[in-house]
Amino acid sequence: MAKRDDEIKQIPGEESGNGLSRRSFLKIGGLAAAVPVVTGPKIIQVGGEQVEVHGPHAAPITLMVNGKRQTLNVEPRVTLLDALREDLDVTGPKRVCDRGECGACTVLIDGKAVYSCSTLAIDAQGKEIVTIEGLMAGATQLSPVQEAYVQHDASQCGFCTSGFVTATTAFLRDHPNPTHEEMVRNLGGNFCRCGTYGGIREVVQAHAGGKRAATEAAGAVAVKGGF
């Protein structure tokens, strides 16, 4: 019995009427899915202002990290922590909790201490990003705060140290003569599982010059972050 025309199936690999075989079509489709599309952001008007819309594929962004302009391709969902560690090989910020709770990933953005694990890389464009590597006064010379952490034995395993040093640098810059309450409020978002808070207090006290924070700390009850 003869088959109707609409029942005749195309033989695999055989060209159809448009000159494209099913095999060729599958190859092209698979290749297109495997190769990421890298395009610039789309510009739309929102409230009379131009707004960049990135994604969903990887897009080129430029970050200013430790005084160097870096260009990389990342998906809009990539955090600043991942961009620093995985794309730029800046490994000072550590991934510990990965949810903005422990402070091991702390970096400075325009001078402010922030969790890089909860900051999108695309949102850090046009801003000055400083990690613990950028705090050094040269290739081998530690910053005063870094040196103080060494002198006061304010680290043990060292995994939280980069975040603490970065946060302490911003804190002492904004609070040159801090109270104990200010220290708890500003450094309480960083956690040391080894419990080296005594040494960290000494770092703050040494840079404060002061007996003020030391005296208050002596009679204070640790209520947050071990301080």
**CATH fold of the domain at 136-227:** DNA polymerase; domain 1 (1.10.150)
Please report, for residues 9, 21, 22, 168, the alpha-carbon distance to residue 17 in angstroms, rounded to integers and kept in the order given: 13, 9, 11, 71
pLDDT digits (tens, 9 = 90+) for 85-131: 999 999 999 999 999 999 999 999 999 999 999 999 999 999 999 99
Residue 36 has pLDDT above 70, yes or no: no
Tell me the β-bridge partners of 64: 69, 128
Select 51-134's CATH number: 2.40.110.10, 3.10.20.30, 3.30.930.10, 3.40.50.10800.
Answer: 3.10.20.30
Residue spans of the domains in the chain: they are 51-134, 136-227
Q: Please state, in angstroms and rounded to a whole number, the distance separating the CA atoms of residues 114 and 95.
A: 14
Q: How far apart are CA 118 and CA 80, in angstroms?
A: 8
Round to whole Å and give the CA distance between 123 and 128. 12
pTM of the model: 0.71
CB count in 10 Å sphere of residue 220: 16
Strands (E), the chain: 42-46, 49-53, 59-65, 68-74, 106-109, 112-115, 128-130
pLDDT band at 21 (very low <50, low <70, confident <90, very high): low
Q: Which residues face 113 on adjacent strands? A: 108
**Residues with Cβ within 8 Å of residue 202, at least 6 apart in sequence:** 152, 154
Does the pLDDT of residue 221 top 80, yes or no? no
Kindly report, residue by residue over 51-89, the tens digit of the pLDDT: 777 667 898 999 999 999 999 999 999 999 999 999 999
